[in-house]
Amino acid sequence: MNAAATPPLLEARDLSRLFPVRSSGGLFRARQMQRAVDRVSLSIRAGEVLALVGESGSGKTTLGRMLLGLTAPSEGVILYKGMDIAAQSGEAARNFRREVQVVFQDTGGSLNPRRTIGQSVALPLTYHRGLERGAASAEVDALLDQVGLPPAHFRHRLPHELSGGQRQRVGIARALASNPALIIADEPVSALDVSVRAQILRLMFDLQRERRLSYLFITHDLGVVRAMADRVMVMHQGRVVESGDADAVLNAPRDAYTQRLLAATPVPDPSRQRNPH
């Protein structure tokens, strides 16, 4: 890693997370620990898109939760703008929580079903940014507009009235409401229909350009990595097995697991069908 003059936006050093696993040896056996995340280091610069790729059990979601401050690391440190987030409190901690936002796979599940879209998007505006109701209301309209949901039509709707793609747009609007520097997106398009998946990726790309956002894209989909990421880290069983420039890694993977992942990804070309004898 090069040591540039400005520290990276978010940096993790030798991050591990251990979970106790039940051993078969009975009550008085020493508890065995499983490393869900095993000494992972990473850095994200301002305006950069980093993809974290892995299958279930790779530790990518646990890593994402640690970077959000939702799960405490067992070992290692997380630095936000050069400061250890575990040591922060008060204003600095609030800033971190405001500037690092998350978009989940299933935004529907994280929206209050009884609150209108407008109310859900307004909450971070009043909570994180202390806006008055009038100012918040204007900002809600601007945000909904930015994510492609005409406010006149959508702000009074309830979550169940929206399609999956529209709900994901609400999730993005709500993340943007805090005026973040970094968005951690955990499988943001996996639950969406194929024909609308690209709409959301395109929206996230445009927003990233306009606002000079950083993204950490957690995904199992190599197509998403190729489309969105500057750099990629491939995780397998808690460890980073390969990392580097996204194009370089996907065009010439060196690690055996990365190669296996690429080979297993289906492609829409019937001529590749292994011929039945």
Partner 1 sequence: MSKGEPLLDVRGLSVDIRQGATALRVVNELSLTVRRGEAVGLVGESGSGKSMTAFAVMNLFPSPLARVAAGQVLLEGRDLAQMAPAELRATRGARVGMVFQDPTSYLDPLMPVGRQIAEPLRAHGRTEGLEARVLELLDLMELPNAARVARQYPHELSGGMRQRILIATALAMQPALLIADEPTTALDVTVQAGILKLLMRLRRELDLGVLLITHDLAVVAETCQRVNVMYAGQVVESNEVGPLFAAPRHPYTQGLLASILSPHSRAHSLFSIPGSVPIAGQWPGGCRFHPRCPIIRAGLCDTSAPALQARGSGADRCHLSGEPMAADAWRRNEATSP
Name the residues that contact partner 1, by CB under 8 A. 55-56, 163-166, 193-199, 201-202, 204-205, 220-221, 223-224, 226-228, 250, 260-261, 263-274, 276-277
Sign of CA dihedral 78, 79, 84, 86: negative
Task: Considering the complex, state which of residue 90 and residue 268 has its C-beta at the smaller distance from partner 1.
Answer: 268
Q: Which is nearer to partner 1, 153 or 274 (CB)?
A: 274
Tabulate helix, strand, coil % of the chain (nearest 5): 40, 25, 35
Say how many CA atoms lie within 13 Å of 254 toward its Cβ: 10
Nearer to partner 1, 11 or 214 (CB): 214
CA angle 122, 125, 127 (to 5 degrees): 105
Classified as helix, coil or strand, 50 is: strand
In the DSSP assignment, the letter for residue 147 is: T
Least distance between partner 1 and beta carbon 225 (Å): 9
CB of 195 to partner 1, least distance (A): 4
Q: Please choose, from the candidates 51, 96, 74, the residue with its C-alpha nearest in 3D space to the C-alpha of residue 222.
A: 51
Least CB distance from residue 113 to partner 1, whole Å? 18
- Characterize the bridge pairing of strands 231-236 and 239-245: antiparallel
Shortest Cβ distance from residue 277 to partner 1 (Å)? Answer: 8
Name which of 197 and 231 has its Cβ closer to partner 1.
197
Phi, psi for residue 116 in degrees, rounded to 5: -70, 165
Q: Which is nearer to partner 1, 125 or 246 (CB)?
A: 246
CA angle at 107 for the pair 102 and 110, rounded to the nearest 5°: 85
Q: Is 100 helix (H, G, I), strand (E, B) or coil?
A: strand
CB of residue 272 to partner 1, shortest distance in Å: 7
Stated as kind and residue range, the H or E segment containing 246 is: helix 246-251
Question: Least Å distance between CB 17 and partner 1?
Answer: 21
Query: Which C-beta is closer to partner 1: that of 9 or that of 261?
Result: 261
C-alpha span between 250 and 24 (Å, rounded): 40
**Separation of alpha carbons 51 and 243, rounded Å:** 10
Closer of 136 and 144 to partner 1 (Cβ):
144
8 A C-beta contact, residue 205 and residue 188:
no
Least Å from the CB of residue 267 to partner 1? 6
